[in-house]
Structure 1
Amino acid sequence: MRYPEEWVEPTAADLAEIERESDLIDAEIDLVQAEILLITAEPGPTVIDWHRVRRAEARVMRELLKLRAAGAGVKAVAA
C-alpha cells in the first residue's frame, strides 16, 4: 500500500506545533500517570494520591491557558 507523501513524515509545521504544545503534552502525561497511580493504589488511594491528581489537573489547565494566551489553536476535549 502506498501512502500520500504528506502522510509519510511530519511537516515542519507539524513539528513546530508539537514543539509549541510540548509542555501541555508533558502535563497531560503526568495527569494520566497520577490517575493510574490513583486507581491502582493498594489498599486504596491516599490523600497524597489525590493531591498528585489535583496538581496534575492544575498543571494541565495552566498549560492550556498559556497556549490560549499565546494564540495557539488549542481545542478543548471533553474528558
Structure 2
Amino acid sequence: MEPIVALQAPVTGADGEREPTLAELDAIEEELPLILAEVDLLDAHITTLDRPLTELDAQRIRRARNRVLAVRRDLANRASTALAGGAA
C-alpha cells in the first residue's frame, strides 16, 4: 500500500501558528462597537426564546436593534469620509 501525501507544501501555516496582523487588529477594534451592539441584540432575542414576549422585552429588542443600526450608520459614514479623503 502506498501512502498518499501532498505534492505541494501548504500555502498557509497551521491554524495555531498565525497571529492577527496589526491591520486586522485595527479593523477589529474599529468594528468593536458594532460587535458589542449585535451581541446585545442577540442577548435580547435569546431572553425571549423560552417565554412569551412582554412589552419590556419588545422595548429591549427595539433599543438594541436601533443601536445596531446607529453603529452601522456611524461606521458607514466613517468609511465614506475616509474614502473621500475627509473632505465631505
TM norm structure 2:
0.70
Q: 1:32 to 1:3 in 2, by over 3 A?
A: farther
In the TM superposition, structure 1's runs of 4+ consecutive aligned residues that sit over 6 Å from their partners are: none
Matching residue of 2:61? 53
Q: Please give the residue correspondences for 1:59-78 in structure 2 after superposition, counting only pairs within 5 Å.
A: 59-71=67-79
Superposed CA RMSD: 1.8
The letter of the residue matching 1:50 is: A
SS of aligned partner of 2:48:
helix
Contact in 2 for aligned 1:34/1:53 (Cα 8 Å): yes
**Corresponding position: 1:20 with 2:30:** yes
Give unpaired runs (5+ residues) of structure 2.
1-9, 81-88
Contact in 2 for aligned 1:31/1:57 (Cα 8 Å): yes
Max radius of gyration: which structure? 2
Aligned length: 68
Of all paired residues, the percent bearing the same amino acid is: 37
Give unpaired runs (5+ residues) of structure 1.
73-79
